[in-house]
């Protein structure tokens, strides 16, 4: 496709820079037009300049003042939840579409293999969090076979991959992910925990998913999870199961009692252990949290771009 849809990225940190590299290297649909930051010395702005991408260090107001802004159709926001609320008002007011990579959650939650086609007409879509993108597809995979009453996820990422925006949004991360586990994953209740692992050398992203669900066909649950992993791998090649899906029957003789659930639980506990290795477009391969977030955002951006061009469902 020669006539690509022009996009801008607000946020020249780890997430925004990784997304820029993906769009430039991989997308046949999107054209990287402007990289926006607030630190003139940031590595992201320097990378953009070396690659021939227009830049501004004057934030959203610098973007709006640029001549290129008129031709931009989609703006990705990789800043922070607080900044996104201000950015969204300005971008949407200018008639542009916005893809939110912060936990602000102004627009509808979007997880490509679960509801990737549902929000293509929304002005602002939210990509939940990196932990959400890695684990919500799995909760959904279990729930489509056996009703999930409670799902808990633990996302462990290398401290070196967590920039200042991520660190400032830990509370928003847990709240947004927990809500999306229920709303998109299908669990009655959800809980999210993030761990910033300071180990050296840095460790690859690991995600653990625990689902308490109704008794169901274990083979069907395992197959559903494996099918979902294969689907996510179509756009995140480093996404994989670390071991086979684990099952434990919780009987009435030893019911579970946890604060997030009403009363006692009996049924099936399903444990899924994941690893996400990054494609190393910007940071090294340990930064799988960047890879799954930016890959999901780019995939969503490409679908929205096709929607804008064709005016029909994609």
Topology of domain 130-284 in CATH is Dihydrodipicolinate Reductase; domain 2 (3.30.360)
**Residue 1: which pLDDT band, with cuts at 50, 70 and 90?**
very low
Q: Residue 312: what pLDDT?
A: 46
Alpha carbon distance 74, 32 (integer Å) = 10
Task: Dump pLDDT digits (tens) for 183-222.
Answer: 999 999 999 999 999 999 999 999 999 999 999 999 999 9
CA distance 205 to 291: 10
Q: Is 200 helix (H, G, I), strand (E, B) or coil?
A: coil
- Residue range 285-298: mean pLDDT, rounded: 97
Q: Say yes or no to pLDDT of 16 above 70.
A: yes
164 has pLDDT over 90: no
ω into 164 cis (within 30 of 0): no
Q: Give the SS3 label for residue 294.
A: helix
Q: Are 249 and 234 in contact (CB under 8 A)?
A: no
Nearest residue to 163 (alpha-carbon basis) of 253, 259, 283, 55 = 283
Segment 217-251, tens digit of pLDDT: 999 999 999 999 999 999 999 999 999 999 999 99
Q: Which of 33, 47, 130, 213 is catalytic?
A: 130
Distance in angstroms (rounded) separating the CA atoms of residues 237 and 182: 26
Rounded to whole angstroms, the Cα distance separating 60 from 44 reads: 16
CA distance 261 to 164: 34
Q: What is the mean pLDDT of residues 278-283?
A: 95
pLDDT at 130 over 50: yes
Characterize the bridge pairing of strands 97-100 and 124-126. parallel
What is the predicted pLDDT for the residue at 259? 83
pLDDT band, residue 263 (cuts 50/70/90)? confident
Tell me what the mean pLDDT of segment 109-138 comes to: 97
Q: Cα separation of 63 and 40, whole Å?
A: 14
User: What is the CATH class of 5-127+291-310?
Assistant: alpha beta
Q: Alpha-carbon distance 52 to 43, whole Å?
A: 14
* pLDDT (0 to 100) of residue 2: 58
Share of the chain above pLDDT 70, in %: 98
Mean confidence (pLDDT) of the chain: 95
For the residues 261-278, what does the mean pLDDT come to?
94
Q: Mean pLDDT, to the nearest integer, of 34-46?
A: 97
What is the phi/psi pair of residue 6, to 5°? Answer: -80, 135
**Domain parsing of the chain, residue ranges:** 5-127+291-310, 130-284
H-run or E-run covering 269: strand 267-276
Based on the residue annotation, tell me whether 130 is a catalytic residue of this protein: yes
């Amino acid at each position: 496709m020669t006539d690509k849809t022009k996009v801008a990225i607000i946020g020249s940190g780890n997430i925004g820079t990784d997304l820029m590299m993906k769009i430039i290297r991989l997308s046949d649909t999107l054209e990287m037009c402007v990289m926006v930051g607030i630190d003139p010395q940031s590595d992201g702005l320097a990378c953009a300049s070396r690659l021939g991408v227009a830049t501004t260090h004057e934030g959203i107001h610098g973007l709006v003042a640029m001549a290129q802004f008129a031709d931009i159709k989609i703006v990705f926001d990789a800043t922070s939840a607080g900044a996104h609320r201000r950015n969204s008002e300005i971008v949407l007011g200018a008639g542009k579409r916005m893809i939110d990579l912060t936990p602000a959650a102004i627009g509808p939650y979007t997880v490509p293999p679960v509801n990737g086609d549902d929000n293509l007409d929304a002005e602002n879509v939210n990509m939940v969090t990196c932990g959400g993108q890695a684990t919500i597809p799995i909760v959904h995979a279990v729930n489509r076979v056996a009703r999930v009453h409670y799902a808990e996820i633990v996302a462990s990422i290398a401290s070196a991959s967590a920039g200042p925006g991520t660190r400032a949004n830990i509370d928003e991360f847990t709240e947004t992910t927990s809500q999306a586990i229920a709303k998109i994953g299908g669990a009655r209740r959800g809980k999210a925990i993030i761990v910033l692992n300071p180990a050296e050398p840095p460790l690859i992203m690991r995600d653990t998913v625990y689902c308490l669900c109704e008794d169901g066909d274990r083979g069907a649950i395992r197959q559903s999870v494996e099918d979902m992993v294969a689907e996510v791998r179509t756009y995140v090649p480093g996404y994989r199961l670390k071991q086979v899906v684990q099952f434990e029957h919780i009987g009435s003789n030893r019911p579970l009692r946890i604060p997030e659930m009403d009363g006692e639980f009996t049924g099936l506990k399903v444990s899924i252990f994941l690893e996400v290795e990054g494609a190393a477009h910007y940071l090294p391969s340990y930064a799988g949290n960047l890879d799954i977030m930016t890959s999901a955002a780019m995939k969503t951006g490409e679908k929205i771009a096709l929607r804008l061009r064709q005016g029909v469902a994609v």
